[in-house]
Structure 1
Amino acid sequence: MGIIPDGNRRWARRAGLPKEDGYAHGLAPGSLLLHLARDAGIQEITYYGFTTDNCRRPPEQVKAFSEACVEAVGIIASEPVSLLVVGDKDSPTFPKELLPYTTRTDLNGGGIRVNFLVDYGWEWDLAGLKAPGNNRKKICDELRSCDISRVDLVIRWGGMRRLSGFLPVQSVYADFFVVDRMWPDLQADDFFQALRWYQKQDVTLGG
């Protein structure tokens, strides 16, 4: 399962707050969603933290979403999870506090696989691929996100209908569910509606 937690800035603007204040309000929804996914038997979940393109935003916003990602990973790390942070750790905007998690680590006895994309870019992810002609397994092995499994379902909050570069290889056959509600306003039923919808899809993986 892939999670695109969009709408933080729009939520803040509607609440009469500076745009950068919206990111901190996305922490509780992320924690709730992790518990819901684990209870539902989801084996792996990937959160979209921030992208290399996001780093072109005003400095106060970059600082705010970077700090929110560090805090979010800290919350996840307190749970029984198998945690991996994926992103360009050589970038100056990659939070150094997250470097210990760039190798998958079982925490608190291990559990659901949780991936967190930080300073992630699809071009960066694909940069390790070699010339065409490799078989599919080899291509997947060469991805910088190679330790993230194929995604069955992507859920995006905030109403936008786009992947925004989210794991293009792993999401190639993913079904896509959009929640119009902003991410900070997440409700548990958003998750359950997405699961019910997915269970009705004809999943063929191209076959």
Structure 2
Amino acid sequence: MRIPKHIGVIPDGNRRWAIERNLSKEEGYNYGVDPGIELIRICKKLGIEELTFYGFTMDNTRRTSEQRKAFTSACIQAGYGAINEGSNFLVVGDTKSPMFPDELMPYTSRKSFGSRNITVNLLVNYGWQWDLKGLKNPENENKKSSTKKDIISSLKSKDISRIDLIIRWGGRRRLSGFLPVQSVYSDFYVVDDYWPDFKSKHLYEALKWYDKQDITLGG
């Protein structure tokens, strides 16, 4: 089976999962931490080199203060979980905003922990406009044309590689601004179950589907 080098993860459905269980929306986020850690463990065993998790976006911070606190806490726990599992760990997001948690600030440059046989990226207080802001740099605009290398080097997320496969839990069929440059040729797989209901079979089914895709990168 052909295994993707880099998988992007959109862990959606936490709030809907909570509502169906008569919980408050914010309670759903905490139940999304352990699935992320389990996914890291499985991917390490399979030899997948890189994982990028969609934590929360700048748009998400418009939600209620209770929800903001809950998903921020969940992202902090998830980050520590990735560190404890052993990884090359990086957090990418707007650190100049008060919405960025201080606890994750030390990891905005990549750090290596433990066995380090997997790279894990976590998007926190991320926005696609923020990520692409460097493309508006006058130095770039004065060029007749920007090369692929120029574009990538201008990204706030430049230390995250191209994504082979994106898996979105929760049934939605949209990218929601997830790393627009790195995902330009990604295959996109949707799991209808909510993220807190993660099962290993979700990943294996996605990998079986991916193995059948014709990967041409436009060629």
TM-score (norm 1): 0.98
RMSD: 0.8
Equivalent-residue separation in structure 1 for 2:28 and 2:112 (angstroms): 30
Mapped pair 1:63 → 2:69: yes
Match of 1:77 among 68, 80, 83: 83
Gaps of 5+ in 2: 1-6
Equivalent-residue separation in structure 1 for 2:103 and 2:112 (angstroms): 18
* Deviating 4+ runs (over 3 angstroms): none
Equivalent-residue separation in structure 2 for 1:45 and 1:109 (angstroms): 15
For residue 32 of structure 2, give the secondary structure of its aligned residue in structure 1.
helix
- Aligned residue type for 2:179: L
The match for 2:205 is 193
For residue 148 of structure 1, give the secondary structure of its aligned residue in structure 2.
coil
Equivalent-residue separation in structure 2 for 1:171 and 1:109 (angstroms): 27
- Write out aligned runs for 1:51-200 (5 A): 51-129=57-135, 130-131=140-141, 133-200=145-212
TM-score (norm 2): 0.93
Shift in Å, 1:110 = 2.0
Equivalent-residue separation in structure 2 for 1:113 and 1:72 (angstroms): 14
Equivalent-residue separation in structure 2 for 1:110 and 1:124 (angstroms): 29
Equivalent-residue separation in structure 2 for 1:96 and 1:127 (angstroms): 23
1:137-159 Cα shifts (integer Å, max 9, x gaps): 11101100000000000000000
Equivalent-residue separation in structure 1 for 2:164 and 2:116 (angstroms): 22
Mapped pair 1:7 → 2:19: no
1:12-38 Cα shifts (integer Å, max 9, x gaps): 000100000000000111011111111
1:120-149 Cα shifts (integer Å, max 9, x gaps): 000000001132711001110110000000
Mapped pair 1:17 → 2:23: yes
- Contact map agreement 2:41 2:85 (CA 8 A) in 1: no
Gaps of 5+ in 1: none
Shift in Å, 1:190 = 0.1
Shift in Å, 1:109 = 4.1
The match for 2:49 is 43
- Aligned residue type for 1:191: L
For residue 78 of structure 1, give the secondary structure of its aligned residue in structure 2.
helix
Equivalent-residue separation in structure 2 for 1:100 and 1:153 (angstroms): 28
Equivalent-residue separation in structure 2 for 1:47 and 1:86 (angstroms): 10
Equivalent-residue separation in structure 1 for 2:58 and 2:119 (angstroms): 24
Equivalent-residue separation in structure 2 for 1:63 and 1:55 (angstroms): 9
**Count of aligned residue pairs for this structure pair:** 207
Equivalent-residue separation in structure 1 for 2:117 and 2:43 (angstroms): 12
